[in-house]
Amino acid sequence: MCGIVGYSGPSNSVGPIIEGLSRLEYRGYDSAGICLKINDELQIIKKEGKLDNLKELIQELKPFSHTGIGHTRWATHGGVSTDNAHPHGNDTFAVVHNGIIENAGALKKELMSEGLQFKSQTDSEVFLVLLTKFFKQSGKTLESISKAFQALTGNSAFVIIEKASDKLYCVKRSAPLVVGENSSTREAYVSSDPFALVGFAPKIYFPQDGVICESSVTNSDVQIKFYELDLTLSHRYKTQANAMTVDATTKGPYKHFMLKEIHEQSALVDKLAAYYIKDDGRKILESLKDFKPKGWHLTACGTAWHAGLVIKNFLEANNRQNASIDIASEFRYKNPILNQGEVGLFISQSGETADTLACQELCKDNGIPSYSIVNVEGSTLFRNSDKNFLIHAGVEIGVASTKAFTLQALTGYFMSRAMEGTLDNPELFTEVQLLSHRIGELCDSSDTLKDVAEKVYTKKGFIFTGRGKYFPIALEGALKLKEIAYVHAEGYAAGELKHGPIALIEENMVNIAIVGPELLEKTISNVEEVKARRGIIIIVGPTNHAEIEALADAYIPLNFEGLPNLSPLYVNVALQFLAYHIARLKGTDIDKPRNLAKSVTVE
């Protein structure tokens, strides 16, 4: 949830730390701070609110330091305030933290009874106080980090700097953390995401849980050492070149990352098709040929859960296989029935969503193999899965997920076709090409969706409806709108409206009705029911259908022809644009909606 960046090297650490934090700000933006080692002192500069507030302070102070750590926060323990902002420090150490210390309350009580003091309400400071206490006893940094870390429960990543050296230390448990190295410029980095280090650190290390990393920069090289918690040398880490390019970190000609990411979808659909049908991805897909597990357990959160609903439809309708889908935070506590011969399928853009990871662990503990549909290669989900089906979306920065949904659902479709053994049927490639083409057309004509947005953006609430394959899209359309436009929106199965939610309908309520060619008459009847109660009707329906158009206050015509399987993905893009334009008219912070964070690494 929080963004972490650390630097040690010959340059001023402020530049790469602030640039890295800017890239990670989408992960949490309640406060931001840095700690710099200046003249052998640890100096903390932090500020409540978005990173811009911190940047202003830094502009004034113009600090210079060769070693520092920075953090953008998504508040968990302790309210949004400058005191609770990270880093937390004293005259020996400064720390930044991502995650939750579950036994923080008990530890804090114990430490306070020993006379130790706290400056914030955060759980993170408990680690700092413990670390300092152990250091006062032994004078040994690594040993103190290990002892303090072992005293904690819960999933966390910590980065630590000390007054006594220019070293960067870090350690984690089930939270993302990478170490970066640039040997030619003699620079060491730490971050919660390799994305922050693009253009800075060509080599990335992925330490495993419970491995302490110590990075130091000498006059001749960068030394990165890994230790187990008993302080023997560790080999439990992987290395990888950082393949991302700096382009990924900018908005290009677009006003928002969300808009850029919506526009990227057409090309990404083509790219994914080439990857899975013709190129490197073909091998992993073919391993599914004739695969018939006893059943699939799909779990995910938010938008990824909606993509899972689409995939469940593919598995059931096309493959006639049993597939259950659960919201990850429910699945993990429902004591699910898990039988040998079944498979867990975990869907996640980040691959770091705590609830989804917990479901994966649960399946593993019960001997159920785990497959993932994931964007971030090298993420925890990726590393812990038996098979990974990458979606190759590139970095998704908009907190509201767009391209990840399309590519998750499409990957699920390719998996379904691979099981059928129909990857080479020409109609598959044609349909995917058509999807890409139609998304492109939507991008070219998105101003018409702006006109629709103008008609309704001041209205009280929105009910998205759809039947069958469009029901998940109604849910996703509503989620997108509520998260970026801060307006009440719900997704409903169109036929379910009359069982309750229709009570909400009046002249200030909008029904965004998806009317696809399937179950068309029945869905129209549902629209009539809303119209009869004076609801405002926006229909996303087939082109050249005067009868349906006449029903609507605004009509979004889509060409469903030739997309028997993939039309839900196409409709969804129209709803992404609609949500975007409504949010723009409302003037919200589209890329960083309030209270949200990109990657939810806490329960």
Instruction: Select from 22, 141, 234, 356 the one that contacts ligand M6R (CB under 6 A).
Output: 356
How far are the Cα atoms of 200, 408, 476, 519 from residue 308, in angstroms, in the given order? 36, 8, 11, 22
Please give the order of strands across the beta sheet that includes 88-89.
88-89, 93-99, 156-162, 168-173, 212-217, 222-227
Minimum gap (Å) between residue 598 Cβ and ligand M6R:
7
Please state, in angstroms and rounded to a whole number, the distance separating the CA atoms of residues 412 and 328: 18
User: Considering the rule CB under 6 A, would residue 349 count as an interface residue with ligand M6R?
Assistant: yes
Nearer to ligand M6R among residue 224 and residue 258 (C-beta):
258
Instruction: Select from 301, 368, 409, 449 the one that contacts ligand M6R (CB under 6 A).
Output: 301
Segment contacting ligand M6R (CB under 6 A): 95-103, 110-118, 142-150, 302-310? 302-310
Q: String of b and e for 68-89 (b: at least 16 CB within 10 Å)?
A: bbbbbbbbbbbeeeeebbbbbb
How far are the Cα atoms of 184, 222, 223, 225, 324 from residue 218, in angstroms, in the given order? 12, 6, 8, 13, 55
User: Considering the rule CB under 6 A, would residue 348 count as an interface residue with ligand M6R?
Assistant: yes
How many CA atoms lie within 13 Å of 361's alpha carbon, on the beta-carbon side? Answer: 12
Instruction: Select from 141, 350, 523, 576 the one that contacts ligand M6R (CB under 6 A).
Output: 350
User: Considering the rule CB under 6 A, would residue 489 count as an interface residue with ligand M6R?
Assistant: no
Segment contacting ligand M6R (CB under 6 A): 19-27, 112-120, 298-306, 561-569? 298-306
Instruction: Answer whether 179's CB lies under 8 Å from 222's CB.
Output: no
Segment contacting ligand M6R (CB under 6 A): 157-165, 222-230, 342-350, 581-589? 342-350
Q: Which x/- pattern, by CB under 6 A, does the window 256-295 give for ligand M6R?
A: ----------------------------------------
Nearer to ligand M6R among residue 148 and residue 573 (C-beta):
573
Total length of the chain? 603
Distance between terminal CA atoms of the chain?
11
User: Considering the rule CB under 6 A, would residue 144 count as an interface residue with ligand M6R?
Assistant: no
Nearest residue to ligand M6R on Cβ basis: 302
Active site residue 2: yes
Q: Which two tokens stand for residue 541?
A: 């329906």
Nearer to ligand M6R among residue 578 and residue 600 (C-beta):
600
User: Considering the rule CB under 6 A, would residue 299 count as an interface residue with ligand M6R?
Assistant: no
Minimum gap (Å) between residue 307 Cβ and ligand M6R:
8
Instruction: Select from 8, 84, 122, 401 the one that contacts ligand M6R (CB under 6 A).
Output: 401
Minimum gap (Å) between residue 10 Cβ and ligand M6R:
36
Please give the order of strands across the beta sheet that includes 461-466.
488-493, 461-466, 509-514, 536-542, 554-558
User: Considering the rule CB under 6 A, would residue 28 count as an interface residue with ligand M6R?
Assistant: no
Please state, in angstroms and rounded to a whole number, the distance separating the CA atoms of residues 443 and 264: 9
Instruction: Select from 268, 399, 452, 551 the one that contacts ligand M6R (CB under 6 A).
Output: 399
Active site residue 167: no
Instruction: Answer whether 71's CB lies under 8 Å from 121's CB.
Output: no
Instruction: Answer whether 391's CB lies under 8 Å from 373's CB.
Output: yes
Minimum gap (Å) between residue 328 Cβ and ligand M6R:
8
Instruction: Select from 7, 600, 601, 602 the one that contacts ligand M6R (CB under 6 A).
Output: 600
Determine phi and psi for 218, rounding to 5 degrees: -105, -175
Secondary structure (H, E, C), 326-372: EEHHHHCCCCCCCCCCEEEEEEECCCCCHHHHHHHHHHHHCCCCEEE
User: Considering the rule CB under 6 A, would residue 313 count as an interface residue with ligand M6R?
Assistant: no
Nearer to ligand M6R among residue 360 and residue 567 (C-beta):
360
User: Considering the rule CB under 6 A, would residue 576 count as an interface residue with ligand M6R?
Assistant: no
Please state, in angstroms and rounded to a whole number, the distance separating the CA atoms of residues 297 and 338: 9
User: Considering the rule CB under 6 A, would residue 141 count as an interface residue with ligand M6R?
Assistant: no
Instruction: Answer whether 385's CB lies under 8 Å from 410's CB.
Output: no
Looking at 108, 167, 403, 598, which residue is catalytic? 598
Please state, in angstroms and rounded to a whole number, the distance separating the CA atoms of residues 544 and 548: 9
Minimum gap (Å) between residue 302 Cβ and ligand M6R:
2
Nearer to ligand M6R among residue 349 and residue 416 (C-beta):
349
Instruction: Answer whether 513's CB lies under 8 Å from 501's CB.
Output: no
User: Considering the rule CB under 6 A, would residue 538 count as an interface residue with ligand M6R?
Assistant: no
How many CA atoms lie within 13 Å of 496's alpha carbon, on the beta-carbon side? Answer: 13
Binding site for ligand M6R (CB under 6 A): 301-304, 348-350, 353, 356, 399-401, 483, 596, 599-600
Catalytic annotation, residues: 2, 598
